[in-house]
């Protein structure tokens, strides 16, 4: 088993221990709502691309991911509740702090999982802005908070961003 896949297995067990269910996540809920209303659904990247990011990581970065997945249930539960609380409150600074802390030990992980993807997505958003009509773009909160986030990159390129809750 690849090191990153072992990390995913451990994380999946942690999520189950926390009582989380994949079908109850934001992505699944939005996909179900859009499908039932006959609305088109696109994607910024495929599942294969996402898995490819992990597979292409150097072994030392995969090991850091694995080490990060080895956490006591008490700590992972506390961390999850803190992140969820920040998300519910719309506390962008706390979300950014959490993601920066989690990825501080591995610049390779941060570059592959956050920075390059944010750069790609912000360029996609800029191109999409040239097309008339509305579109909903849903990404993980860690991609929208802090320095180098999709929001930050769009602001740097002159876009006015207004947060709604």
The packing angle between helices 59-69 and 3-17, to 10°, is 20
The residue with tokens 């706390």 is: 94
Per-domain boundaries in the chain: 3-156
Question: Model-level pTM?
Answer: 0.83
The 3-state secondary structure of 73-131 reads HHHHHHHHHHHHHHHHHCCHHHHHHHHHHHHCCCHHHHHHHHHHHHHHHHHHHHHHCCC
Q: Which of 47, 51, 30, 48 is nearest to 39 (CA)?
A: 30
pLDDT per residue, tens digit, the chain (165 aa), is: 999 999 989 988 888 888 887 777 788 889 999 999 999 999 999 889 989 999 999 999 999 889 888 877 677 778 888 888 888 888 888 988 887 777 777 888 888 888 999 999 999 999 999 999 988 898 988 899 989 999 999 999 999 988 877
Q: How far apart are CA 101 and CA 110, in angstroms?
A: 11
| pLDDT for 152 | 95
């Amino acid at each position: 088993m690849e090191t990153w896949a072992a990390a995913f297995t451990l994380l999946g067990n942690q999520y189950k221990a926390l009582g989380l269910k994949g079908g109850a996540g934001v992505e699944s809920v939005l996909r179900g709502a859009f499908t039932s209303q006959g609305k088109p659904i696109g994607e910024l990247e495929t599942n294969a691309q996402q898995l490819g990011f992990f597979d292409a990581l150097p072994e030392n970065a995969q090991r850091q991911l694995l080490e990060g997945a080895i956490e006591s249930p008490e700590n992972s539960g506390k961390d999850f509740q803190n992140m969820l609380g920040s998300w519910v409150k719309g506390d962008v600074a706390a979300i950014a702090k959490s993601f920066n802390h989690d990825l501080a030990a591995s610049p390779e992980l941060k570059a592959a999982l956050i920075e390059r993807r944010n750069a790609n997505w912000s360029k996609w958003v800029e191109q999409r802005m040239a097309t008339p009509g509305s579109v909903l773009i849903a990404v993980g909160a860690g991609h929208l908070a802090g320095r180098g986030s999709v929001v930050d990159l769009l602001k740097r390129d002159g876009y006015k961003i207004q947060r709604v809750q």
